[in-house]
Structure 1
Amino acid sequence: MSHASPPTSWTPDQIRETVQALLAMDTLPPIVQAGNPVLRQHSAPFEGQLSARELHELVELMRKVMHAAPGVGLAAPQLGIPLQLAVLEDQFEIDDDIAAARARMPLEFLAVLNPSYSPLGIRTAAFFEGCLSLSGLQAVVERPESVRLEYLTLSGDPASRDFSGWQARIVQHETDHLQGTLYIDRAEIRSLSTNDEYAARWAEAGIGRARQELGFLTGTTS
């Protein structure tokens, strides 16, 4: 059953005041966890609620939090800010076989405003996925293999970029956050695993063994 996320009720002043408070902190802010309503709301489009300086400082803060986690993406709601802003970056070194199986290529740092994506073609890919806002868990999510992302740059210019493989997965995951959707909403629930169980049993290139032993996606061969 799908559910439409309610729009945020935050005013531009509330968003700006919250951002200013985060920027004034002496330590990195914590990542908001599932159960907080901000993760289940349709975030406000960026329409100049922040000055250019505030926006760039927030992006740098989000990048630091993402690196410290560590993760490959972070959306503003994960810092408690219902604003359509996300940062993406994947520079992790991983096993060559896993990288090949998952079509995982390095992703240079990218900040996006008001993003939306659409599938390119009908091919999908299913892999385990985690989230910094659902600490300690992973589950298999089947997603379009390639997508086109429409967004605004930090300068306010419209942009369009195509992504495939693992980069497309990151793009979809972070954009979903801004619509109040968590990966668990799209996941094969029977695949849900703790990080420890995943590391002990399913940390391999594909999902074939997990699919068979946990009993999900039984009609596929991926």
Structure 2
Amino acid sequence: MPTLDIALMGNPVLARLASPVEDPGDPAIAALVADMLETMTAANGVGLAAPQVGRSLQLVIFSVPAERTADGIGFPPTVLINPQIEPLGDATDEAYEGCLSVPGLTGRVPRWRTIGYRGLGNDGKPIEREVSGFHARVIQHECDHLWGRLYLSRMRDMSSLAFADELRRQIEAAREVEQPETAPSAMGEDA
């Protein structure tokens, strides 16, 4: 299974609406999923959408690390084909996000706090969940790729856009001065 090249901001595949996957059982889809999983792992990402690897298809993969959930229970790598999301309430949260297609940068992005999502798994069986927090953020971020959007287009205030390494240095410097309980929280992972 090869790792795939990740499309970078400016690549037209990232700016167009992805096509539905017609046959989730197609062996070519299974092969794409395997390559995407390897690519996501090699890039240290928590999510990857097919357009990010040059395939304009409604297919995302993601994982949710246990340390990023309120209950300490994560989700292993999951495939979601032809996903649909729906906000459950009006509440939003704003947090830093990064993206494998926008390497090195991070910015604060508002997202619905709780969503419902549905689609098909890699086995063609329906998946339907209600999630909140980081899990909801990852799904929204990845589905944006299917709709031709990058997180930058969702930012309310571009002054939060920063190089991730510089922001980490600033956070570490603040922690040296402040007590750990009051230091700024770490930013989001690349998806």
Is 1:43–2:18 an aligned residue pair?
A: yes
1:198 maps to 167
Structure 2 contact 25–122 (Cα < 8 Å) conserved: no
Distance apart, 1:167 and its partner CA: 0.5
- The residue matched to 1:127 in structure 2 has which SS? strand
Equivalents in 1 of 2:80, 2:60: separation in Å?
Answer: 5
Is 1:145–2:119 an aligned residue pair?
A: no
2:179 maps to none
C-alpha RMSD over aligned residues: 2.2
Paired AA for residue 86 in structure 1: V
Distance apart, 1:159 and its partner CA: 2.9
Equivalents in 1 of 2:42, 2:72: separation in Å?
Answer: 21
For 1:178, which of 136, 146, 155 is the aligned residue?
146
Paired AA for residue 117 in structure 2: L
Equivalents in 1 of 2:106, 2:71: separation in Å?
Answer: 19
TM-score (norm 1): 0.72
For 1:78, which of 47, 52, 55 is the aligned residue?
52
Distance apart, 1:108 and its partner CA: 1.8
Once the two structures are superposed, what CA deviation does each residue of 1:171-197 show, in whole Å capped at 9, x if it has no partner?
Answer: 100011001011111013110000122
Equivalents in 1 of 2:134, 2:71: separation in Å?
Answer: 6
Equivalents in 1 of 2:128, 2:107: separation in Å?
Answer: 29
Is 1:131–2:131 an aligned residue pair?
A: no
Equivalents in 1 of 2:81, 2:72: separation in Å?
Answer: 24
Moved more, 76-85 or 147-156: 147-156
Which structure has the higher relative contact order (CA within 8 Å, separation 6+)? 2
Distance apart, 1:109 and its partner CA: 1.6
Structure 1 contact 73–174 (Cα < 8 Å) conserved: yes
Equivalents in 1 of 2:45, 2:111: separation in Å?
Answer: 19
1:34 maps to 9
Rate the CA distance shift 1:108–1:123 in 2: closer, same or farther, 3 A.
Answer: same
- The residue matched to 1:42 in structure 2 has which SS? coil
Once the two structures are superposed, what CA deviation does each residue of 1:110-158 show, in whole Å capped at 9, x if it has no partner?
Answer: 1011111111112211111000000000000011111000212223333
Equivalents in 1 of 2:140, 2:103: separation in Å?
Answer: 19
Instruction: Give the alignment of 1:92-131 within 5 angstroms.
Output: 99=68, 105-131=73-99
Equivalents in 2 of 1:194, 1:146: separation in Å?
Answer: 28
Paired AA for residue 161 in structure 2: L
Distance apart, 1:103 and its partner CA: 7.8
Structure 1 contact 104–165 (Cα < 8 Å) conserved: no
- The residue matched to 1:118 in structure 2 has which SS? strand
Paired AA for residue 200 in structure 1: R
Structure 1 contact 104–167 (Cα < 8 Å) conserved: no
Equivalents in 1 of 2:122, 2:100: separation in Å?
Answer: 24
Rate the CA distance shift 1:160–1:200 in 2: closer, same or farther, 3 A.
Answer: same
Equivalents in 2 of 1:143, 1:104: separation in Å?
Answer: 21
TM-score (norm 2): 0.83
Structure 1 contact 105–167 (Cα < 8 Å) conserved: no
- The residue matched to 2:85 in structure 1 has which SS? strand
2:26 maps to 52
